[in-house]
Amino acid sequence: MTGGAYLIGLPGTGKTTVGRQLARRLQLPFVDADQVIEARTGCTIREFFVREGEAAFRDLEEAVIDELTQGPPCVLSTGGGAVLRPANRRHLRERGRVFYLRSSPEELARRLRHDRTRPLLQVADPVQRLRELYAQRDPLYRETAHYTIETGRPSVATLVNMIVMQLELGAAAPPVPAAGG
């Protein structure tokens, strides 16, 4: 497989959890773009957001995704907002197989209700914030992804099996052009 498998989706959809198991199954390295950013900045993403702002974070994220998608094949978990930059969407889609792990905002709010590490969800009404993020990002995730995987009910093992099956089927078929481009 050239490029690798790239996971996109809102915070809490399981990109890291599914990604780790998928990497083991495919015998590829697992890379979490947010962890790479934290290692490079020496602080958490939340701290970086507060200190430098979202624009500086997105600049760094774009550079990291560009670099990681040009490297050896891997399973890559991206930050939830990675699709906000057109360059990220293009690099992900052109350089690997992209899986959109999709969950409803309500399901995500339930999963993330005790998580205090996600800067964009530290608001009075996290469910409403997730609905806003979903409305903004869902079309971008769909534009970027080769495949959409619903993460509501299936176990992590089932999700990994679904992705592996798509990769195996996709290897036998030509790539599908991006929607609208």
Summarize the annotated binding site for substrate as residue ranges. Answer: 34, 58, 80, 137
DSSP 144-180: H-SEEEE-SSS-HHHHHHHHHHHHHHHHTSPPPPPTT
Summarize the annotated binding site for ATP as residue ranges. Answer: 12-17, 118
Give the residue-averaged pLDDT of 92-115.
Answer: 86
Q: What pLDDT score does 118 carry? A: 58
Summarize the annotated binding site for Mg(2+) as residue ranges. Answer: 16
Share of the chain above pLDDT 90, in %: 66
Distance between CA atoms of 68 and 46, rounded to whole angstroms?
A: 22
Mode of pairing for the β-strands spanning 4-8 and 30-32: unpaired
pLDDT tens, 125-146? 778 888 999 999 999 999 999 9
Give the residue-averaged pLDDT of 148-172.
Answer: 87
Summarize the annotated binding site as residue ranges. Answer: 12-17, 34, 58, 80, 118, 137
Residue 181 has pLDDT above 50, yes or no: no
Global pTM exceeds 0.95: no
CB 66 within 8 A of CB 58: no
Average per-residue pLDDT in the chain? 88
Residue 147 has pLDDT above 90, yes or no: yes
Give the residue-averaged pLDDT of 98-124.
Answer: 76
Instruction: Quickly name the fold that domain 4-171 has.
Output: Rossmann fold (3.40.50)
- From 75, 77, 59, 84, select the one nearest 26 (Cα to Cα): 75
Backbone conformation region of residue 180, classed left if phi is above 0, alpha if psi is from -120 to 50, else beta: left
For residues 172 and 76, which has the higher predicted lDDT (pLDDT)? 76
Long-range contacts of 126-134 (CB under 8 A, 24+ apart): 130/10, 130/105, 130/106, 131/105, 133/10, 133/11, 133/80, 133/105, 134/10, 134/104, 134/105
Give the residue-averaged pLDDT of 14-24.
Answer: 95
CB 24 within 8 A of CB 161: no
Q: What pLDDT score does 117 carry? A: 61
The residues with which 32 forms a beta bridge, in sequence order, are 77
Residue 173 has pLDDT above 90, yes or no: no
Distance between alpha carbon 96 and the CA centroid of its chain, in Å?
A: 13
Residue 180 has pLDDT above 50, yes or no: no
Residue 60 has pLDDT above 70, yes or no: yes
- From 175, 178, 25, 18, select the one nearest 6 (Cα to Cα): 18
Residue 176 pLDDT level (bands cut at 50, 70, 90): low
CB 64 within 8 A of CB 33: yes
Give the residue-averaged pLDDT of 101-114.
Answer: 81
Q: What pLDDT score does 121 carry? A: 60
Q: What angle do CA 138, 181, 132 make, to 5 degrees?
A: 15
Residue 41 has pLDDT above 90, yes or no: yes
